[in-house]
Structure 1
Amino acid sequence: MTIERADLLDLPIEVAPRLLGAELRTVVDGVETALRITEVEAYHGRGTGDVPDPGSHARMGPTARNATMWGEPGHLYVYLSHGIHSCINVVCGPEGTAGGILLRAGAIIDGVDAAAHRRGAVTPLTRTALRDLARGPGRLGQALGLRHALHDGIDFVSGAEQNGAVATLSWGEPVADVSAGPRVGVAGIAGTDAFPWRYWITGDPTVSPFRWGRGAREAAEQLI
């Protein structure tokens, strides 16, 4: 069943765990791929929710970079990380508030050969290589073929084509066991247990390993 805008009106921390098990499908330049979402992270913009989120791109308010996060739900915010990796976020919350759910990892369920080609992987894939195709947000974006800035803002509810790409997001099978914890690689207190806004399917092999962000370990020790 297709995910509608009305399904995405709650805060990111409420919507994020619901997206586990959902299926994101893309057709880019005529090539189709799809994955099952296994790991996500929630991010709030300035004024979103009760707790300011120092780890969000929208923490200081609207900018040219984060404009999609402030728009209507049902679009994908595609940003560039480290000048290399195109990372994908599901925009949620009412229009005019900023909310994004980073897709951290997933399992490729359709178009494996196409995803492997985009990732530069050698086929046929080993079990480890298959696990790693979309394990981490940069790999996930590359496997699905979505690129900043061509596809930033693409509308997965209407399914409208944007620069040679179409994206759709649909509910998958319900997930029985969900874990939560600090976000991966986020600096300072935003990457500690003060913000347990990372959610993943417990025990799924495609979930990315945890690592501390800059200064996050020290901030965590101060919370004890």
Structure 2
Amino acid sequence: MDYSILVVEDDEKILDLIEIYLKNEDYIIKRATSSEQALKYIKEKEFDLAILDIMLPGENGYYICAKIRESYNYPIIMLTAKDDESSKIKGLTFGADDYVTKPFLPGELVARVKAQLRRYNNYNLKTKEGTGNILTYQNVDLNIKSREVLVDGQEIDLTPIEFIILKSLLEKKSEVLESEDLFYKIYPDEYYIKNNTVSVHIRHIREKLGEKNNIITTVWGVGYKIG
């Protein structure tokens, strides 16, 4: 499959390097050096993945990330020059799936791109056999095979990571899942900062379920459970 990747980076040298390594993996690359250019491309087509630098002329990478999330669920990897937890958590808050800190090894970026595409591709695989297994709690229904989540019969859009978390919790109703266990379900191959990462995704899920559907309970110092 020919994956199309949007790369937004105002440093031409870094952009050239990223393009070379990703093209070596047969990815189709669309380059953007400003937020204005990136937003134009986002309106024109749906990509399979986006790599966004945070510091850009015009609007920053966080803004572009949020604009993508208004319409699409494809993976987003943020590039940041700041190796601090707050910057990375901010990226997750705006809807990013992963981050890479500058300076980075090109091989690491390629590996993260492959991991995100693999995860997203697995998420989008749907079987044509029947309706699949459905997990239900109160007015929330999650269809494992079709990857649909319904609240009061209305479908809500979850990212692949959010779907995995909600599915994991619904499969273990009333059992407490530790934050670290949830972390490794969504980032099995990552040496990622764990603090707050899961809580950011949990917050997004709660917001999408709505205030009256507060089915996820925080067990302080341990993790989360349904009910």
TM-score, normalised via structure 2 length: 0.27
**Higher relative CO (CA 8 A, sep ≥ 6), structure 1 or 2?**
1
**Rg larger for:** 2
Greater helix content:
2
